[in-house]
Amino acid sequence: MTKTPSWLDHAARHSSERPWTLGAVLEEYSRVEGVTRAETASFLGCDVDSLAWLSLCRKPAPDQFLEDVSRIAERFQIDGLKLAQLIRRVDAIVVLRRTTTAEEETLLLAARDRDEETEE
């Protein structure tokens, strides 16, 4: 990577708000693991600027996951295995969170139905 453009930080921040970007995954990873962006960069074996560029990438597609991860890793000279591990971890968290939320909603609905039956 050459000179860092002045808009890069803005772009990385905006990207992380879009679920289809790698930026959203990196943001979630930092949040869940309680680590800074610098620590995430260190985990992947790159600097913070490279992490900002990484944020702009499209998240690897499930049906060509390894191919996409390899392409990203090659472009940014980072550890592909660690990137895959990071994405898988965040994916798992997202799925678990969704499941938990759905279960909570089901339980709440069941409780409400029970209360209504009792009132009748």
Partner 1 sequence: MTFPGRADEIALHERVLAGDPVAPVDVFKAWMDPLVNALRADLRCSDDEAYDSGIDAVLAYLEEPGKYDRGKGRLSSYVMDIAKKRAIDRLRTRTAAERRDDGYAAAVDLRTMNPKDVLEAEVEARELWQKVENAVPDERDRRMLKLILEGERSTDAFAEALELGVLSPLAQRRLVKQHRDRLMKVLERLGTRLGHDEDA
Give the footprint of partner 1 on this chain (CB under 8 A): 5-7, 10-11, 14-15, 18, 20-22, 53, 56-61, 64, 68, 71-72, 75
Nearer to partner 1, 22 or 90 (CB): 22
Nearer to partner 1, 43 or 87 (CB): 87
Least distance from partner 1 to the Cβ atom of residue 61, Å: 6
Nearer to partner 1, 75 or 112 (CB): 75
Identify the bridge partners of residue 58 per DSSP, sorted by sequence position: 21
Burial classification of residue 37, based on how many CB atoms lie within 10 Å of its CB (0-12 exposed, 13-18 middle, 19 or more buried): middle
Least distance from partner 1 to the Cβ atom of residue 51, Å: 12
Nearer to partner 1, 35 or 56 (CB): 56
Least distance from partner 1 to the Cβ atom of residue 57, Å: 5
What b/e readout covers 44-60, taking b as 16+ CB neighbours within 10 angstroms?
bebebebbbbbbebebb
Least distance from partner 1 to the Cβ atom of residue 34, Å: 27
Cβ(66)–Cβ(84) below 8 Å: yes
Report the 10 Å Cβ neighbour count for 31.
11
What is the rounded CA–CA span in Å between residue 67 and residue 52? 21
